Amino acid sequence: MLKIRQLQKKKQDEDASLQSNAKDDKIAVSNNSTSAARVSAAQLRLQKDLTELDLPKSIKVNFTNPSNIFNFVLSIVPQEGFYKMGLFKFTVEINENFPIDPPKIRCMQKIYHPNIDLDGNICLNILREDWSPVLNLNSVIIGLNFLFLEPNPNDPLNKEAANVLAKNKNVFASNVKVAMRGGSVDGERYDRVI
Amino acid sequence: MFSIQNNQHDSSYLSLVSNVGPFNEFIDEYDPNEAFNTLSNARVLVIGAGGLGCEILKDLALTGFKKIDIIDADTIEVSNLNRQFLFRSGDVGRPKAEVAAEFVKRKSMGKNLSIVSHYCRIQDKPQSFYKQFDVVICGLDSVEARRWINATLVSLVDSNLNGLIPMIDGGTEGFRGQSRVILPTVTSCYECTLDMITPKTTYPVCTIANTPRLPEHCVEWASVLEWPRRFPGKKFDPDLSEHLDWMYETAHRRAIHFKIDGVTKELTLGVVKNIIPAIASTNAIIAASCCNEAFKYVTSSNPILNNYMMYSGDYSIFTYTYSHARKPNCPVCGNHPKTIKVPGSWDLRDFIEHIKEKHDISIGTPSLATATKQLYFRSPPSLEEFTRKNLGRKLSELLDDNEEVIVSDPKLPISLRLLVKLE
């Protein structure tokens, strides 16, 4: 274990040369004091992501239990497009393996959308196959918002909705209007979101 | 002169300590007797008693380590027996750490070997437990556990590098593997290299929902979409046979409907548990490399790995060793907690002003939290509102003495970690 002793010696020499021109500072480097609970790497990262959220007023993040930042509800009110002025809510679950694992997001309402199925599953690449730890919470939320501005008929989860969107935008637009008011489309009743 | 009695048990490795290696960094300081003594007295912790752990434990015992602890929270399953060679069918259901320790001790009679087993999660042990070891070897299959032990070992190092315990990490995936030596706060740590991890194979939800082509798509459809639809709120447990049977039958029906071949019970289990086939020989090679590093480090007989060796045995035998650089803004080893002394009578607002001044956070207010509590969050608005009342509260009410506080601000490249001593 001579390696460590050698490293320690090198470090001391470095510190000594640093100290000669160090300024008077009350903050000293820790001497290995231990507190009971340690902040997990996931919490460190999540706190940073939350602090850096930069969202338009139409997107809100609400904590049902504010002492637990790992679970929250996201609400989006699209400002334009087919879904203009609807209020869409999502549960967001982050686990201790964040940011290796992506946030788990589900739509809480039954809505008519080509990329969201009737159970609230969402087809958004950065939530699954294209997730990477270099993405952050903000990028995922912005991506979700984008799904309402530009629903994508090529990646359908609700196939009927996707077909209508691909064939006739006007019919799709009126279907969305009916569904958002809590009406039925193709025999399926949707939740009121407006 | 090297004077250790060359007894039969130790003969295999004595020549390794009695001769100084040609690349030894400390030729003048090297003393074979001291090397032998350190080897006999060094305390090694083995984390994981699975495929790699079994090999590691055996290798350590055979290379002269005498004081070994092994920790694992798992019990033995039938499917482990093909490669986890310290276990027999009669051991199924028993704790892996216990059985592995018993087996190696039994086989090494007269070697003065102490192996202590711990049947629990690594997170259940306090920091003081980890402090007693000279080196930690990991044979783990989980990213989460590696991140935890890595952060723990980093937190034990002080500014003079006291408390530094090397983490030797082995990992295998089929015919490939890696071993690396992490000197916490000196070389790159596990968290520094997190971005390099190959992501789990996942498939787009729309593909599994509408256009399945592979048997895996059918299994994913059953587990990701059908299970929560049929059993809302119920957690799928792949170790329960009725759960697995349902998953297999559901996936199988889907496969027939889409004319896809290859959905079997084994495939179903493999997909839902994300199993990558383990190869015994890969485990043996990686474990040997890890123990070799532990041996070189403890005896100082030869230089240790600097610091990442990858091994590939799928198309030919190939290794590549390189020095992985530290990540300057690594959230774990890139910012060591600093101790700050402040009056407990200060309120949180005073404290924040003080930090802003010290650390040049001039715009707005940073977010602060401890491991268990949100002190103040600048955003999002709902958290800001909830934590605002804390700004006027005294530090002595909000914090324990010496508690760690994390300070995040968009202006800081990484969060600040402060150990707050109250005066």
Q: How far apart are CA B374 and CA A47, in angstroms?
A: 9
Per-residue burial over B48-58, b = 16 or more CB atoms within 10 Å of its CB, e = otherwise? bbbbbbbbbbb
Beta bridge partners of residue B174, listed in sequence order: B278
Looking at residue B15, which CATH number applies to its domain? Answer: 3.40.50.720
Looking at residue B258, which CATH number applies to its domain? Answer: 1.10.10.520
What range defines the domain where residue B364 resides? 338-422
- Nearest C-alpha of chain A: how many angstroms from B323? 17
The label of the residue with tokens 């509590």 reads B373
- Nearest C-alpha of chain B: how many angstroms from A114? 10
Chain A residue with Cα closest to B225: A121
Residue A36's identity, in one-letter code, is: A
In a domain, B161, yes or no: yes
Residues of chain A with pLDDT under 50: 22-35
A12–B38 C-beta distance less than 8 A: no
B206–A156 C-beta distance less than 8 A: yes
In a domain, B328, yes or no: no
B268, B282: one domain: no
User: Which of B116, B74, B113 has its CA nearest to residue B93?
Assistant: B74
Do B132 and B167 contact (CB within 8 A), yes or no? no
Chain A residue with Cα closest to B373: A67
- Nearest C-alpha of chain B: how many angstroms from A155? 6
SS3 B107: helix
In a domain, B332, yes or no: no
B115, B234: one domain: no
Do B229 and B183 contact (CB within 8 A), yes or no? no
Chain A residue with Cα closest to B228: A119
* Residue A107 a catalytic site member: no
B356, B391: one domain: yes
pLDDT at position B10 is 73
**Contacts A123 to B, Cβ<8 Å:** 204-206, 209
Chain A residue with Cα closest to B421: A33
Chain B contact for A168, CB < 8 A? no
A61–B380 C-beta distance less than 8 A: yes
- Sequence-separated (6 or more) residues with CB below 8 Å from residue B400: A35, A36
B308, B404: one domain: no
A157–B210 C-beta distance less than 8 A: yes
Integer angstrom CA distances of residue A4 from A155, B60, B69, B161, B303: 55, 21, 22, 8, 12
**Contacts A117 to B, Cβ<8 Å:** 209, 225
Beta bridge partners of residue A28, listed in sequence order: B339
Q: How far apart are CA B302 and CA B295, in angstroms?
A: 9
B398, B287: one domain: no
Per-residue burial over B381-403, b = 16 or more CB atoms within 10 Å of its CB, e = otherwise? ebbeebbeebeeebbeebbeeeb
Tell me, letter by letter, the H, E, C secondary structure of chain A.
CHHHHHHHHHHHHHHHHHHCCCCCCCCEECCCCCCCCCCCHHHHHHHHHHHCCCCCCCEEEECCCCCCCCEEEEEECCCCCCCCCCCEEEEEECCCCCCCCCCEEEECCCCCECCECCCCCECCHHHCCCCCCCCCHHHHHHHHHHHHHCCCCCCCCCHHHHHHHHHCHHHHHHHHHHHHECCEECCEECCECC
The label of the residue with tokens 């650089």 reads B325
Q: What is the DSSP string of B161-199?
A: -TT---EEEEEEEBTEEEEEEE-TTTS--TGGGGGGSPP
B85, B23: one domain: yes
Of B229, B331, B403, the CB nearest to A119: B229
Count of domains for chain B: 3
Chain B contact for A186, CB < 8 A? no
Ranges of beta strands (E only) in B37-192 are: 43-47, 67-71, 114-118, 135-139, 167-173, 176-182
In a domain, B379, yes or no: yes
In a domain, B148, yes or no: yes
- Nearest C-alpha of chain A: how many angstroms from B27? 11
B47, B135: one domain: yes
- Nearest C-alpha of chain B: how many angstroms from A180? 22
A27–B415 C-beta distance less than 8 A: no
- Sequence-separated (6 or more) residues with CB below 8 Å from residue A99: A42, A45, A133, A135, A136, B194
A28–B195 C-beta distance less than 8 A: no
Do A35 and B402 contact (CB within 8 A), yes or no? yes
B282, B159: one domain: yes
Domain boundary (B248, B272, B296) is at B272
User: Which of B20, B75, B108 has its CA nearest to residue B301?
Assistant: B20
pLDDT at position A72 is 96
B315, B344: one domain: no
Is the sign of the CA dihedral B282, B284, B289, B294 positive or negative? positive
B30–A4 C-beta distance less than 8 A: no
Best to test chain A binding among B38, B140, B205 (most A CBs inside 10 Å): B205
- Sequence-separated (6 or more) residues with CB below 8 Å from residue B355: B340, B361, B366, B407, B416, B418
Phi, psi of B154 (to 5 degrees): -65, -40
- Nearest C-alpha of chain B: how many angstroms from A64? 10
Integer angstrom CA distances of residue B73 from A3, A36, B132, B208, B369: 32, 22, 20, 34, 31
Chain A residue with Cα closest to B305: A3
In a domain, B407, yes or no: yes
pLDDT tens for chain B, 423 residues long, are 555 555 666 777 888 888 888 888 888 888 899 999 999 999 999 999 999 999 999 999 999 999 999 999 999 999 899 999 999 999 999 999 999 999 999 988 667 899 999 999 999 999 999 999 999 999 998 888 999 999 999 989 988 888 999 999 999 999 999 999 999 999 999 999 988 887 778 888 888 988 899 999 999 999 988 998 899 888 888 888 899 999 999 999 999 999 999 999 999 998 988 877 889 999 999 999 999 999 999 999 899 999 999 999 999 999 999 999 999 888 888 877 788 899 999 999 999 988 888 776 656 678 999 988 899 998 888 899 999 999 999 999 999 988 989 998 887 777 888 889 998
B142, B290: one domain: yes
B338–A29 C-beta distance less than 8 A: yes
How many beta-carbon pairs under 8 angstroms link A with B? 207
Question: What angle do helix axes B280-299 and B32-41 make, rounded to 10 degrees?
Answer: 120
Chain B contact for A123, CB < 8 A? yes
pLDDT at position B45 is 98
Looking at residue B411, which CATH number applies to its domain? Answer: 3.10.290.20
SS3 B211: coil
Chain B contact for A67, CB < 8 A? yes
Is the sign of the CA dihedral B402, B403, B408, B409 positive or negative? negative
**Contacts A40 to B, Cβ<8 Å:** 148, 151, 371
Q: Radius of gyration over alpha carbons of chain B, in Å?
A: 26
Phi, psi of B44 (to 5 degrees): -115, 135
Chain B contact for A133, CB < 8 A? yes
**Contacts A99 to B, Cβ<8 Å:** 194
Chain B residue with Cα closest to A36: B403
What CATH number was assigned to the domain covering residues A41-189?
3.10.110.10
In a domain, B250, yes or no: yes
